[in-house]
């Protein structure tokens, strides 16, 4: 028998069918090919129950939703103190791909904007790691968290690589300040590969539930991240995960979250659930219009706001 919560999720998607505002991302050509009518949601509890609705089998590139996971990987590999020396912990108040660094330290403001994520990619594994080793670390960590082997989509990778001037500019700027040690081209290619990993909403919900449970995988019970690392990742997601809309999101939705330009949103509510949503039309901040609405309504209906006292 179908679980009543699945009916709830189907109803939620149905109630948003009329929402057709926003547009698919176009600056990466392959993202412009996405079917704008696709819509999916998944919720995974930290105790391992997973429910999905809508186009739950649809695969899409993870894009910026990879950032919290490579950040977690770098924090595990290099330690919190070292990573903090390279990437700061404050909201930027600027667009995700802005060419700016902190005034005095020249660090990127946080790991959720592109400058920070490129710096984080360099930190994966350890000094002297090859580009292939860093990319494999990113893909295998995300695979472990999703509970299945994920793959880099070559077409997505090539599409973004052919339009990577902005990220290359960020890479060169970071290297000029000693934040990157390798060739900027290699680090940016690795970052773009991590963004080209294909996932579905179920993967996102399970990955989010792992962060929400302080690093214990909800399906296997294995510890895959330390609780300190999860705390730091969720903290930065809270203040910077939804880009310039992060403050508005915290007030209205109240779930640490990360969005990506493919139309994905990942939420992680400590001790409770991971959420994955997908709908490709984006608002001017670069967040999925329906995804934001799905999360806002679920937060209200299911009492998920982290600041709610009871």
Under the rule (CB under 6 A), what is the footprint of ligand GLN?
A: 63-64, 96-97, 114, 160, 167, 195, 260-261, 286
The answer on whether 243 is annotated among ligand-binding residues is: yes
Q: Is 63 exposed, middle or buried (0-12, 13-18, 19+ CB in 10 A)?
A: buried
Quote the least distance from Cβ 167 to ligand GLN, whole Å. 5
> What does the block give as tokens for 193?
């590969």
Q: Which residue is nearest to ligand GLN (CB)?
A: 64
Picking from 42, 47, 37, 55, the residue whose alpha carbon sits closest to that of residue 3 is 42
Tell me the HSE value of 301 on the side-chain side, using a 13 A CA sphere.
11
Q: Tell me: is residue 160 an annotated ligand-binding position.
A: yes
Is 167 annotated to bind a ligand? Reply is yes
The nearer residue to ligand GLN, 12 or 245, going by C-beta atoms, is 245
- Residue 45 vs 163, nearer CB to ligand GLN: 163
Q: CB count, 10 Å around CB of 303?
A: 10
Q: For ligand GLN, which is the closer residue by CB, 208 or 214?
A: 208
Minimum CB separation of residue 305 from ligand GLN in Å reads: 24
From the CB of 212, what's the least distance to ligand GLN, in Å?
21
Residue 250 CB neighbour total at 10 angstroms: 19
Q: How far is the CB of 61 from ligand GLN (least distance, A)?
A: 8
Least distance from ligand GLN to the Cβ atom of residue 265, Å: 11
CB of 39 to ligand GLN, least distance (A): 18
Cα-to-chain-centroid distance, residue 190: 16
| C-beta of 169 vs 302, nearer to ligand GLN | 169
Q: Which of 107, 127, 103, 104 is nearest to 170 (CA)?
A: 107
Q: Which is nearer to ligand GLN, 30 or 304 (CB)?
A: 30
Q: How many CA atoms lie within 13 A of 264 on its CB side?
A: 33
- Residue 57: count other Cβ atoms within 10 Å of its Cβ: 10
Contact 212, 269 (CB under 8 A): yes
Least Cβ distance, residue 261 to ligand GLN (angstroms): 4
Residue of 190, 183, 134 lying closest to 161 (CA atoms): 190
Nearer to ligand GLN, 63 or 213 (CB): 63
Beta partners for residue 259, in sequence order: 265
Identify which of residues 170 and 211 has a Cβ nearer to ligand GLN in the complex. 170
Q: Which two tokens stand for residue 223?
A: 């510890």
Residue 64 · residue 260 · CB < 8 Å: yes
261 has binding-site annotation: yes
Which residue positions form the known binding site for substrate?
Answer: 64, 114, 160, 167, 191, 243, 261
Which residue positions form the known binding site?
Answer: 64, 114, 160, 167, 191, 243, 261
């Amino acid at each position: 028998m179908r679980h009543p919560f699945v009916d709830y999720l189907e109803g939620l998607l149905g109630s948003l069918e009329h929402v057709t505002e926003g547009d698919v991302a176009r600056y990466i050509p392959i993202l412009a090919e996405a079917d704008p009518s696709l819509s999916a949601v998944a919720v995974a509890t930290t105790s391992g129950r997973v429910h999905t609705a809508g186009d739950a089998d649809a695969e899409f590139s993870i894009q910026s939703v990879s950032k919290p996971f490579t950040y977690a990987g770098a924090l595990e590999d290099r330690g919190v103190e070292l990573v903090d020396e390279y990437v700061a912990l404050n909201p930027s108040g600027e667009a995700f791909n802005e060419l700016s660094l902190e005034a005095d330290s020249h660090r990127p403001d946080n790991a959720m904007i592109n400058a920070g994520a490129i710096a984080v990619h360099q930190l994966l594994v350890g000094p002297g790691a090859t580009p292939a080793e860093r990319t494999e670390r990113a893909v295998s960590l995300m695979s472990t968290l999703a509970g299945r082997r994920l793959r880099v989509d070559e077409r997505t990778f090539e599409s973004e690589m052919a339009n990577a001037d902005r990220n290359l500019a960020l890479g060169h700027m970071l290297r000029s300040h000693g934040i990157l040690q390798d060739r900027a081209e290699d680090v940016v290619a690795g970052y773009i590969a991590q963004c080209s990993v294909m996932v579905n909403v179920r993967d996102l919900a399970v990955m989010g539930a792992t962060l929400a449970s302080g690093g214990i995988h909800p399906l296997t019970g294995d510890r895959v991240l330390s609780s300190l690392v999860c705390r730091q990742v969720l903290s930065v997601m809270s203040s910077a995960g939804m880009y310039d809309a992060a403050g508005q999101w915290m007030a209205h939705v109240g779930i640490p979250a990360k969005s990506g330009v493919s139309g994905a949103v990942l939420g992680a509510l400590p001790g409770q659930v991971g959420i994955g949503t997908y709908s490709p039309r984006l608002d001017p901040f670069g967040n999925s219009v329906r995804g934001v609405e799905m999360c806002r309504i679920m937060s209200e209906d299911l009492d998920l706001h982290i600041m709610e006292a009871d």
